[in-house]
Structure 1
Amino acid sequence: MKKLIVVAFLILAGTVSTQAQIVRFGVKAGANFANYNGGVDGIDYKSLTSYHAGLVAEINVVQNFSVQPELLYSTQGATYKFADARDDFKNETAYISIPVMAKFYLLTDRLSIDVGPQFSFLVSEKNDVNLSDNQSFDFAAAGGVTLKVTESLFAQARYTIGLTEANKDAEVKNAVFQVSLGYLF
């Protein structure tokens, strides 16, 4: 009877250990290098350096394939200059972003190619000039790479291109290059 209990305990422990690896939660943060694609004649758009931070989950579906939903606070926008102006102006927008990345692992479980959609909801905006009429929702496509430095520590690089207009008047779309460090628990 004791052997049966020990075997049952070992099977249960193995199952719990396996289940724990199916979903892992973590945090990530990093830099955004944001700009606009498109625009209005007479305005020169330049990159804006900002940041992102939030929560991640990695869900192992099958070997070498995972899904990684994230919940991020992300600041984006651009610096711009009017043709007849001397000074640069800034349009900084903050979003709650929800990227859902499909992760295809190339080298066992260390290096992955990541692609997927991103859904972003505008939560604040800060403009130097009141010329902006930013959209409250931004839909984008994202792609990048992830390198797991250790079992828990990872580094990511990602490019996100807006598929919807970020501004009602300027006909621009968000474009953001991100570099991140994260930790899975």
Structure 2
Amino acid sequence: MKKLMLFAVVAVFGLFNVNAQETSFGVLGGLSIHSAKAESGGFSATTSETGFHIGGFAQIGISEEFSVQPELTYSIAGDLAMFSLNAIAKYNVSEEFNIQLGPQVGLVGGDLGDALDATDDTTKMNLQLAAGVGYDINEDIFVQARYGFQLNDHYTGDGDASWKINTLSVGVGYKF
């Protein structure tokens, strides 16, 4: 996991050197909904909590149609808090509208993170594949909506148990 995080950070900063002239920075925030699903031996339970997220980003232009948006975000909803490092690829369908796809690597905290620490059969890492859309209102302000599907499992022990957290985020951003 440490190697994956190191690779992601090196890749993101490597991109800054490629197209630094087409890079903008900014802040973002908005609504977050975390949906947790636990399954074990035919039993299934799902809960959802609503909260917010805030963070910072860099938008790195690769071409007119394509850019990469690395983000560092913090979200909190109910008993769940999560820091995430996201590397979102953006394809501009038009001047204002874009589609987004990329990995989101999170570290679960809060009361839920404490519960994950209570056993050796769990992990706090939350690896998601996110897909979404964005709309540039003007040169500085944009809105976006994204859904993250968890790829790994918080339960790492033996048996047929599973515990995953998916996220929906809807927010606004401001470019400097």
* Alignment TM class, shorter chain as reference: 0.7 to 0.9
CA distance in 1, matches of 2:102, 2:88: 4
CA-CA distance at 1:75 after TM superposition? 2.6
Amino acid at match of 2:110: E
CA-CA distance at 1:42 after TM superposition? 4.3
Structure 1 residues 112 and 25: CA distance shift in structure 2, 3 A: same
CA-CA distance at 1:125 after TM superposition? 2.1
* Map of 1:118 onto structure 2: 104
Q: Which of residues 160, 167, 170 in structure 2 aligns to 1:176? A: 167
Gaps in structure 1 of 5+ consecutive residues: 1-18, 77-89
* Map of 2:136 onto structure 1: 148
* Map of 2:60 onto structure 1: 59
Q: Which has the higher helix share?
A: 2
Structure 1 residues 140 and 38: CA distance shift in structure 2, 3 A: same
Amino acid at match of 2:98: S
CA distance in 2, matches of 1:45, 1:176: 13
Structure 1 residues 21 and 147: CA distance shift in structure 2, 3 A: farther
Q: Which of residues 92, 96, 100 in structure 2 aligns to 1:105? A: 92
Q: Which of residues 123, 147, 150 in structure 2 aligns to 1:135? A: 123
User: Bigger shift: 92-101 or 37-46?
Assistant: 37-46
CA distance in 1, matches of 2:89, 2:83: 20
Tell which structure's C-alpha radius of gyration is larger: 1
TM-score by length of 1: 0.72
CA distance in 1, matches of 2:126, 2:45: 22
CA-CA distance at 1:165 after TM superposition? 1.0
For the aligned residue pairs, the C-alpha RMSD in angstroms reads: 2.4
SS of the aligned residue for 2:111 comes to strand
User: Bigger shift: 21-30 or 43-52?
Assistant: 43-52
CA-CA distance at 1:160 after TM superposition? 0.2
CA distance in 2, matches of 1:68, 1:49: 24
Identity in percent: 31
Amino acid at match of 1:116: G
SS of the aligned residue for 1:126 comes to helix
